[in-house]
Chains A and B, each alone.
Chain A
Amino acid sequence: MLVSEQKPLEEILHSLDGDGTVFLLGCRGCAEASHTGGEQEVRTMKANLEEAGKIVSGWTALDFLCQKALVKTGLQAFRDQILASDSLLVMCCGVGVQATAAVVDKVVHPGCNTLSMGGAQGEWRGSERCAECGACLLDYTGGICPITACTKSLINGPCGGARDGRCEHQPDVRPCGWQQIYERLKKLDHLDKLREIHTPQDYAKAEPPKALRSTTFWALEHVEE
């Protein structure tokens, strides 16, 4: 299971700045268990966004946002609502946000921060990876995680080491994550996102707070082990 917590509403609204119409997407897997992106939380978020003057074109909560093939299939039913939206707000772990960003040609905003349980990668995973850093940056990077896609986990743009779009470390198997981010943002016409300077990550945020550790789901996760 991937444990997440919702980003502060203020941060979410800031990330939606300029987006009038938003589609909401929750996850019936870990995010529901974390009480951060199940049906109930998506409904609450819908009310919050509407109160803030946003139009919510539609919403759903799918099983396993961590698997992009399932996300793609699940979102077919909401095609028109999504096409009518400026962006999607995805309330789940970093894997689900990336999987969604990989299958829709829309800006995808993360609604949650994923917290560390020591390295989980979704219940039905694809190629997307989340480092459970607790301070999700996917909003700035076109839904591609710079922590996992970049070998050096750089958060402020590419180093000078890539050649022909390949990483200086194992170029035969590793693409340059920042080139992928650049290309995605260019496609979304959002290169302005690259101009945001990020101060160093707060790695203390990766640690789940005490309140989360006392939930049943947390306990179950550890009983299994």
Chain B
Amino acid sequence: MKLTQLFADGRFVITSEAGPPKGVDTTKMLEEVALLRGRVDAFNVTDQQSSVMRLGSLAASHLLKQQGAEPIFQLTCRDRNRIALQSDLLSAYALGIENVLCLTGDYVSLGDHPGAKPVFDLDSVSLIHTIKTLCEGHDLAGNELMGKPDFCIGAVVSPGADPIEPQIIKMENKIEAGAQFFQTQAVYDLDQFSDFMKQVKHLRVPILGGIILLKSAGMARFMNRNVAGVYVPDNLIDKMDESTDKVATSIEIAAELIKAIKDVCQGVHIMALGWEKWVPDLLREAGLWDRLSSS
């Protein structure tokens, strides 16, 4: 099922993440997916997240599909040139994968193989353009395809970037290139997020607000220091600091954020970062657990 269909149906869309393992044992990843299958609409399958080498997002997306979960195949420009990217896209579609999320990709030095040769033959905008070209029945060189794919194309935007103007211009370029929905970097600052949503209102494209479960005050401080576009306000850090039940407080904070942004965006994208087992509780607390069965 393409995400575009869900937006067209007027559904508040929830996506989560599936992180492929370093190794070939996919049991844990698939167990975490099973916990949420039928409760979230789709799972982003990360592509060598943070430049750390893992099992590939194409194979993992296929495994999710086999389990009856809807994958969003993440694709970065860091590790593949235009030949490999186009080929993987054709392969994905042949395996029944319909949703793709296009990213630039972190630089290689952020991961566990810092000496690798970075590719970046395409960038996020030209990757979107490439997918649209494939969907129109041609490859980037203009050759006709024997059977064309039909992808729902997603992209990302960082509402907390400073300055925000070049990010919004790039977002507009992504839409012009063919992006059909957006997921955002983690949101903690509600004023900043609603400000951003006002600035992009004219774009009329579904946006899923990003939610990252805070595990501790230390993690929040770490993100503030090291993660671009993420800013956790002091009151949330204090709340985590003072909490005696970190899990409960984390879920409470995330649920409040979801409730607060629910009316200004078209869905949420939940990044549990290892805390997948608490996502059901988060959905319950945010009032979204029975969303699908009741609709």
Contacts and interface: CB of A to CB of B under 8 A. Distances in A.
A156 B122 CA distance: 9
Contact of B169 (A159, A161, A191, A200): A191
Contacts of B228: 160-163, 168
A155 B123 contact: yes
Contacts of A199: 126, 129
Interface in B44-85: 77-78, 82
Interface residues on A, range: 20 to 34
A194 B169 contact: yes
A154 B123 contact: yes
A157 B170 contact: yes
In the complex, which of the residues B107, B166, B172, B226 has the most CB atoms of chain A within 10 Å of its own CB atom? B166
A168 B125 contact: no
Interface in B206-239: 226, 228-229
Nearest to A192: B169
Given A154-B120, A160-B158, A195-B169, A200 B109 contact: no
A164 B231 CA distance: 12
Interface residues of A, dominant DSSP = loop
Interface string B157-195: 110011101110110110011000000010000000000
A152 B126 contact: no
Contacts of B172: 195
Nearest to B169: A194
A170 interface: yes
A128 B165 CA distance: 26
A169 B109 contact: yes
Nearest to A198: B126
Given A157-B166, A162-B228, A169-B110, A195 B173 contact: yes
A152 B157 CA distance: 18
A198 B126 CA distance: 7
B125 A157 contact: yes
B34 interface: no
A222 to B, nearest CB: 27
A169 B120 CA distance: 14
B126 A168 contact: no
Contact of B166 (A153, A163, A194, A203): A194
Contacts of A195: 169, 172-173
A172 B122 CA distance: 26
A193 B163 CA distance: 17
Contacts of B123: 152, 154-157, 159
A197 B173 contact: yes
B99 interface: no
Contacts of A159: 104, 123-124
Nearest to A183: B163
B137 interface: no
B107 A161 contact: yes
A79 B32 CA distance: 67
A25 B161 CA distance: 38
A151 interface: yes
Contacts of B156: 160
A157 B176 CA distance: 14
A197 B122 CA distance: 12
Nearest to B108: A169
B63 to A, nearest CB: 28
A165 to B, nearest CB: 9
Given A197-B176, A199-B129, A200-B126, A160 B169 contact: no
Contacts of B124: 156, 159
Given A156-B126, A197-B176, 4 more contacts: A152-B120, A156-B173, A182-B163, A191-B165
Interface of B: 77-78, 82, 104-107, 109-110, 118, 120-126, 129-130, 140, 156-158, 161-163, 165-167, 169-170, 172-173, 176-177, 185, 226, 228-229
5 contacts: A156-B125, A159-B123, A160-B157, A162-B228, A168-B110
Interface of A: 151-164, 167-170, 178-179, 182, 191, 194-195, 197-200, 203
